[in-house]
Structure 1
């Protein structure tokens, strides 16, 4: 058996009721519900496009997930942009090292240029238009998809198995 709190829209197992009471965290508005109610609303995934809500009768029910707000969309876009910038920066670093040390192949130079262009395009994105962002695509806009695949296959680092880290000083 479980207890359901409409105020918290949460379930509490009967076995832990006394622990919740001792901790002062057992809601006063709880109602007893059977395992079948817990299983439907907490033990399984919610139906597609639905979320658990408090029904008009005070028991759990399924309600439509509201569409994201503009703030939600902007926040998600900020996270995506940040993640993509980190990926681009991580890809640029070793390629830039190769160029700086005059060790870069033509393929590495081309790949570095593509990553840098991609990062500039990412940086220019206006997140205020969170519903209509034209995200740059590294594999299509800066250079062709097949070229990137070919270039990536040439950029490898090989360290002989006999190399010890102490030998790298």
Structure 2
């Protein structure tokens, strides 16, 4: 099997699918042949914190991963907050039902208040301070 790399798509291609790509008109014009061993090495090294990128000749090489941008950090923090808010809401809903129906135990009432406090504190998290966010602790 022959492997190819395209700097334009930053992707690998196999000759096994070359005909189908060419027929569909999607075979990259800049595809360069690389050895199977080099391809395997590049893919393996991606798992250890490296990125595959093209050098000035269009050949695939390894590069260090760039740290996330401020916008990416904020977006990650917002996604984490949304996930935690969903988790809190899922915990609160049955506790609130039990409370509303007068069926909540004292323990359930305390847990309901703890989850509601957590959700309020979570809502107040300033994601603009990412990555230096002190997340509230989950209720126990």
Structure possessing the higher radius of gyration over alpha carbons: 1
SS at match of 2:46: coil
1:72-124 CA distances to partner (integer Å, 9 max, x unpaired)?
A: 00110010000000000000000011110111110000000000000000011
Match of 1:117 in 2: 117
Would you say 1:41 and 2:46 are equivalent positions? no
Match of 1:11 in 2: 12
Which protein has greater RCO, CA pairs closer than 8 Å, 6+ apart?
Answer: 2
Which structure 1 segments of 5+ residues have no match? 140-147, 149-169
More off after superposition, 68-77 vs 8-17: 8-17
Which structure 2 segments of 5+ residues have no match? none
Give the Å deviation of 1:47.
5.1
Counterpart CA distance in 2 for 1:91 and 1:47 is 35
Give the Å deviation of 1:138.
2.1
Counterpart CA distance in 1 for 2:47 and 2:62 is 8
SS at match of 1:62: strand
1:110-159 CA distances to partner (integer Å, 9 max, x unpaired)?
A: 000000000000011111112221110024xxxxxxxx3xxxxxxxxxxx
What do you get for the CA RMSD once the two structures are aligned? 1.3
Give the Å deviation of 1:58.
2.3
Give the Å deviation of 1:49.
2.7
Match of 2:79 in 1: 79
Match of 1:21 in 2: 22
Counterpart CA distance in 2 for 1:12 and 1:24 is 14
Counterpart CA distance in 2 for 1:22 and 1:67 is 39
SS at match of 1:128: helix
Match of 1:158 in 2: none
Query: What number of residue pairs does the alignment pair up?
Result: 139
